Amino acid sequence: IGFGLSFKVVALDPNFRKLSPEHIASAYRRTTSRAILLDYDGTMMPQTSINKTPSSEVLAVLNTLCSDPKNVVFIVSGRGRQTLSDWFSPCECLGIAAEHGFFFRWRRSAEWETCIPVTHFDWKQVVEPIMKLYTESTDGSFIEAKESALVWHHDDADPDFGSSQAKELLDHLESVLANEPVSVKSGQQIVEVKPQGVSKGLIVEKLLSLMVQRSTPADFILCVGDDRSDEDMFETIAGAMAGPPQSPIVEVFACTVGQKPSKARYYLADTVEVVKMLQGLAVASESGTWNTSHLVLDSSL
């Protein structure tokens, strides 16, 4: 409705609410086969940070969660696999999905796999010159060449001009690439071209189905992300829960960062709250491990 106002009214789902650390920690303690999927930029690391490398605090909480045998923990990011591999090298048991899941590996010692078979990247020869034209006419923009994708960034451009250029570039690429096996998407200050079928949701699907194959279907799913690409994960989880049951009772926590329209049921205010929530789960893991070993010691007396 146009009232000539400078803001837009958004409707939030009445069931959308803030994630209570106590509520999730209680569900965490009750469960024994947990899938934890975490976006990185904007979720565990503020978008505004100059230095994007994970802090010792983040690495410590991930290592604690990974060392709990009841957990499968994945970082699911749009970043390239080499960067993520370097940044998270201290986390031996952490799964990583890079470039929105195009590449993934189950732990540090595992080989990288691809989520879909891609035979060629010829479309890059069409996309790059077009993106270069927009880069030349938009101060503060640049092209990021990934192994599986090309991304045009306009974070440092004039906000209004950058947004209008992004919209124009999106339309231009969509028309030129109509018959190519690619998808053209806009995100937070980006326009990205990547192979069709690649999404963070596909990684969620693979992980949950693998847990079923291993006879350890997830009874707890935590998925946290902050942007459009993470909505694919929330959608996949909702679809999986609507289908045949993963396990009789599944505790699901799909959580976005910031109070905004989302397919997630929960939100946390910012990256600080996300890390605090994960630290709460790590404490529950540590106390659970201590209790188990304590019981084992007692029973041997």
pLDDT at 114: 93
Taking 70 as the threshold, does the pLDDT of residue 263 lie above it? yes
- C-alpha–C-alpha distance, residues 13 and 61, integer Å: 31
pLDDT computed for residue 118 by the predictor: 78
Q: In angstroms, rounded to a whole number, what is the distance separating the alpha carbons of residues 280 and 274?
A: 10
State yes or no: pLDDT of 119 exceeds 80.
no
| Cβ proximity of 282 and 71 under 8 Å | no
* Identity of residue 134: Y
Of the pLDDT bands very low, low, confident and very high (cuts 50, 70, 90), residue 188 is: confident
pLDDT by residue (tens digit) across 129-148?
A: 999 999 999 999 999 999 99
Tokens for 267, please give them.
Answer: 């939100």
- How far apart are the C-alpha atoms of 45 and 38, rounded to whole Å? 11
Closest CA to 206 of 240, 178, 183, 181: 240
- As a whole number, mean pLDDT of residues 99-110 equals 95
Please tell me the number of Cα atoms within 13 Å of 187 on its side-chain side: 21
pLDDT band of residue 27 (cuts 50, 70, 90) is very high
**Does 119 or 51 have the greater pLDDT score?**
51
Query: Which is it for the CA torsion 146, 232, 90, 105, positive or negative?
Result: negative
Mean per-residue pLDDT, 163-191: 94
The average confidence (pLDDT) of the chain is 89
Inform me whether the pLDDT recorded for 248 exceeds 70.
Answer: no
Q: 290 or 87: which carries more pLDDT confidence? A: 87
Q: What is the pTM of this model?
A: 0.87
Q: Over 60: is that where the pLDDT of 237 sits? A: yes
